[in-house]
Chain A
Amino acid sequence: MLRPPPRFADRLLEWFCAPHLLEEVQGDLYERYVRDLQRSGTSKANRKYWLNVLRFFRPFALKRQSSDYQLNFFGNPVMLRNYLKIAWRNMIQHKSFSAINIMGLALGMATSLLIYLWIQDEFSVDAYHANGPQLYTVMERQFFDGKIEASPSTPALLAEELEKVFPEIEHAASLSWEQTFTFAVGDKLNKEIGRSAGASWFTMFSFPLLAGKAETALAAPNNIAISRKLAQNYFGSPQEAMGKSIRLDNTADYQVSAVFEDIPANSSETYDYVLPWQDFLQRNEWLKDWGSNAPVARIQLRTDRNGVSADPAKLEAKMKTFLKRYNPSIGKEKFDIQLFLQPYQDAYLYSNFKNGYQSGGRIEYVRLAGIVAAFILLIACINFMNLATARSVKRAREVGVRKVVGAARSLLIGQFIGEALLLTTIALVIALVLTALLLPAFNSLTNKQISFPLINASFWITLLGMTLITGFIAGSYPALVLSSLNPIRVLKGTLRFGAGARLFRQGLVVFQFSLSILLIIGTIIVYRQIGFIQTTNLGFDRENLIYLKGEGELATNYTAFKQELLQKPGIQSVTYMDGSPTNTFGSTRNVQWPGKNPTSTLMFQFSTVDYDFTKTLKVNVTGRDFSRDFGMDSTTFLINETAARRIGYQQAIGKQLTLWGKTGNIIGVMKDFHQNSLHQAIEPMIVKLSPKSDRKSIIVRTQPGQSKQALASLESVWQQFNPKFPFTYTFADQAFQKLYRSETIIGTLANYFAFLAIFISCLGLFGLAAFMAEQRTKEIGLRKVLGASVASVVALLSVDFLKLVLVAILIASPLGWYAMKQWLQEFAYKIDIEWWMFPLAGLVAVCIALLTISFQSIKAALMNPVKSLRSE
């Protein structure tokens, strides 16, 4: 016997060489091996054999011969064509079912897509800064009165000082509140909104500069950085704007030192210009005191050469007690302020603090929206599953035949999932069109500027993922159940789907309706709460009230302005105050009264006002308002009922009060009015007369029904007194509505979502009812022949579904109660959740479900029994 070549090389060849070539190749190699053996001995022959084998590692030898009967990954093309054909025929044959499926899925997907875009936009807010991970807001945790409160307001000098003291901080800058100034360039005159910021502002934050340098943008006190929009409005272009001067409020000139790109829509803070910090401190001398709080301080952590930034936790520990060095009152009398850091990028979504510690914020709405999106999509998937399982009896035959001629189970699963994917893809196309069409309306509803992300790769990947997941979920049940059928029983016609399948279907319907009812409950309660906000008596009359800003000449000539105004038609009364009645004005703890507990640090809302304050706001007073008839009113106070109660005065009028060391008498007690949104409780308040009207809000009450004349009068008097400033005004009612913008949006959205959820659920119910009626055609025919009335047949068909809806009500009610209780917790003043809300939501669901089913059941009940019984 001849000596065989190396075994391992042979094995290797057998493994990689294409089977149809193996025989001749191996034969040739053997032949050559025999010759080599004779010529040059074993070891050399072995080596040559190895070499020859390895040389066959070429494409032609590796490539397998294709066979007409071999299955590749996607199955045979002929089979694939058959699957597609069957899917298409099924779709065409059952037009209404397919339409319901695709419509439901498309609506669900469009809704989820919109919500997805919104969530993505929410996450993009403030997340575009190059130094983002290093940016932190320095916040205060204030301990007083046994309470802890977190506040973003810090002393105005803090940022600069922190940068000097801590080496971990690379840059620090403060940011002021929004300021409105009147800009004058040549004869152009406009009010513009902007802020003041520390010198490193543009180094820390990535707002691209179109002109000027980030380092020098805010170097000198008379510098001003303006947005592209302002540069174009006033100077024509960013380049031309550089170095030009702008007169602010007709008093001071500023040189444009930089032009920045307009702040993108996904920023939490917007402004059209930035003024230097020195200038801000000059205009607000009181902020130079370490005891005063107002602006926000931001820091950027230093990064080392490897790009690793300083540890914020360590820095936080180091600066905790930092303020004590500068403010001696801290640490005394149970009053303490500690500093802590909040990541800047998180601030937008995590803005709520409870007892001084982070407790969610907008992120809760984002999560909620995500859950709603998932649920709506799930409801649509369930439709699909339900209709598919209901129809599975019809397709069972097909499955049986397929199995008999040799279809493997995996192929059947693939077929049904593929069919679901096909429908999902059609639905996706419709959903995309819907989304693109609805986006503008959605944007105006949510006050966003989301564009359709055609070129965003992650968007398409999400779409792909969504389609796959939806297709798999929707197709999973029919695929798994149908493919498991026993072909013999199916073809014999003895197949009965057991109680399990029916129970599963019913479970899905209950789930759908529970979700829908949950959303209806949410809508009812959100709407009631919004209605409550709208109708609550605020304590003052917000109708026919107009706010003006006390600026320019109005600050110095207020008395004459008021005199002139009161002569004009449509004007009832005029006064002024700090801030506005629905927006916090100022607060102080420096209030003393006889018998005050020395450890109490009760916080009072505080405002200086003009005569006619209560008259203009229409606030009821016991005692009297400030009046010129009494000469001494410059040292007297008005307080509200809450203040009287907290101080402990039964009869407050005539009692003494000391504010900032000046003692005076209380002359009147105002009825409580809401100084803020209804999220917050009414706080104790002190009002004091002041002759200075500078930077106050002038409040004008107009005659009811005469707002047009009133506005004309206002404008003419404004032009006469204050021609250097454009005439701008706010209606109190609008200012009030603005406080509840997010509640209104949520109310509207909840409404839409509830509608969509119930609509999609009903689509499914409609399909199921149609199916049931079809299934029971014979039964109904027999019943009618035996004398059943139409009503009894309708009832027969409806009662099954109604039971399911009732179960859904029972499940949804406690869940809805709990969820809405959580939501209402955010309001200090809220409605009670009442028992009738749940039956109402249920009733709505039952009615809609009944309407949906009735169409089918009445149709079935009215059918001529002769026809239904004849058909076989």
Chain B
Amino acid sequence: MKRTYLGEFEEVVLLTVAVLNEKAYGVAITDELDRQTGRSVSISAVHAALSRLQEKGMLYSHMGDATAERGGRRKRLFTVTALGSRTLHDIRSMRDQLWNSIEPNALPTIGLAGS
């Protein structure tokens, strides 16, 4: 299967953009990442990943509106493109396929809550 390679961080950022749906921009993505995964990343790392993803054609961006706290500067808002969406789905189905291929007892059991 041939597709554009995504790094793990890129994948997470791409997913976060999808989560934020229309409200995804640098700071918001950073905060959302922190909240959802507990990972504290720098803004510059997120920007770098975003610009890479855009170069790969997985993200589309446009300038949003300005706010006072930003000193009157506009946000760049990101949305996932069809290619991005396709890639995410591909990754997911590959993962599922792998999970489904694992025999029930093949993984050492860990204490699963509620089972």
Q: Which residues of A contact B (CB under 8 A)?
A: 2, 4, 21, 23-32, 34, 51-52, 55-56, 58, 60-61
Contacts and interface: CB of A to CB of B under 8 A. Distances in A.
A55 B71 CA distance: 21
Nearest to A27: B73
Contacts of A23: 63, 73-74, 76
A58 B76 CA distance: 19
A61 B47 contact: yes
B45 interface: yes
A667 to B, nearest CB: 110
Given A25-B47, A55-B43, A58-B44, 6 more contacts: A2-B68, A21-B47, A24-B75, A27-B66, A28-B43, A60-B52
Interface in B50-101: 51-52, 63, 66-71, 73-76
Contacts of B48: 58, 60-61
B47 A56 contact: yes
A29 B74 CA distance: 12
B42 interface: yes
Contacts of B44: 52, 55-56, 58, 61
A31 B47 contact: no
Nearest to A57: B44
Contacts of A32: 27, 30, 43
B68 A28 contact: no
B43 A52 contact: yes
B74 A26 contact: no
A32 B45 CA distance: 14
A28 B52 CA distance: 18
A24 B43 contact: no
Nearest to A1: B68
B27 A31 contact: yes
A52 B48 CA distance: 13
9 contacts: A2-B69, A2-B71, A24-B25, A26-B73, A27-B71, A30-B71, A56-B47, A60-B52, A61-B47
Contact of B43 (A2, A4, A21, A29): A29
Nearest to A22: B73
B75 A27 contact: yes
Interface in B1-41: 25-27, 30
A731 to B, nearest CB: 85
B15 to A, nearest CB: 20
Contact of A30 (B63, B69, B76): B69
A250 to B, nearest CB: 88
Given A2-B69, A60-B52, A28 B74 contact: no
B26 A25 contact: yes
B55 to A, nearest CB: 9
A27 B67 CA distance: 9
Contacts of A52: 42-44
Best-buried of A21, A27, A51, A52 by chain B (most CB within 10 Å): A27
B64 to A, nearest CB: 9
Contacts of B30: 32
B73 A34 contact: no
A21 B30 CA distance: 17
A23 B63 CA distance: 10
A24 B47 CA distance: 10
B47 A27 contact: no
A27 B47 CA distance: 12
A5 to B, nearest CB: 9
A9 to B, nearest CB: 13
Nearest to B73: A27
Contacts of A61: 44, 47-48
B37 to A, nearest CB: 18
A573 B114 CA distance: 135
Contacts of B69: 2, 30-31, 34
A28 B42 contact: no
A34 B70 CA distance: 8
B69 to A, nearest CB: 4
B97 to A, nearest CB: 34
Contacts of B70: 27-28, 30-31
Contacts of A56: 44, 47
A555 B67 CA distance: 117
A30 B68 CA distance: 10
Contacts of B74: 23-24, 27
A55 B66 CA distance: 24
A51 B45 CA distance: 13
A60 B43 CA distance: 13
A275 B107 CA distance: 90
A26 B26 CA distance: 10
A4 B45 contact: no
A858 B53 CA distance: 75
A25 B25 CA distance: 10
A55 B26 CA distance: 14
B25 to A, nearest CB: 7
Nearest to B49: A60
A17 to B, nearest CB: 10
Contacts of A31: 27, 67, 69-70
A55 B44 CA distance: 6
Contacts of A25: 26, 43, 47
A23 B77 CA distance: 12
A4 B71 contact: yes
Nearest to A54: B44
B85 to A, nearest CB: 23
A15 to B, nearest CB: 16
Contacts of B67: 31
B20 to A, nearest CB: 14
Nearest to B26: A28
Contacts of A28: 25-27, 43, 47, 70, 75
A23 B47 CA distance: 12
B1 to A, nearest CB: 28
A24 B51 CA distance: 12
Contacts of A4: 71
A31 B66 CA distance: 11
A172 B59 CA distance: 82
Contacts of B51: 21, 60
Contacts of A30: 69-71, 73
The 9 A-B pairs of least Cβ separation, nearest first, read: A27-B73, A28-B26, A27-B70, A55-B44, A24-B76, A34-B69, A56-B44, A30-B71, A28-B27
Nearest to B71: A30
A26 B70 CA distance: 8
A56 B76 CA distance: 17
A26 B66 CA distance: 12
A32 B43 CA distance: 9
Nearest to B67: A31
B68 A24 contact: no
A56 B73 CA distance: 18
A436 B18 CA distance: 70
Contacts of A58: 44, 48
A58 B71 CA distance: 24
B66 to A, nearest CB: 8
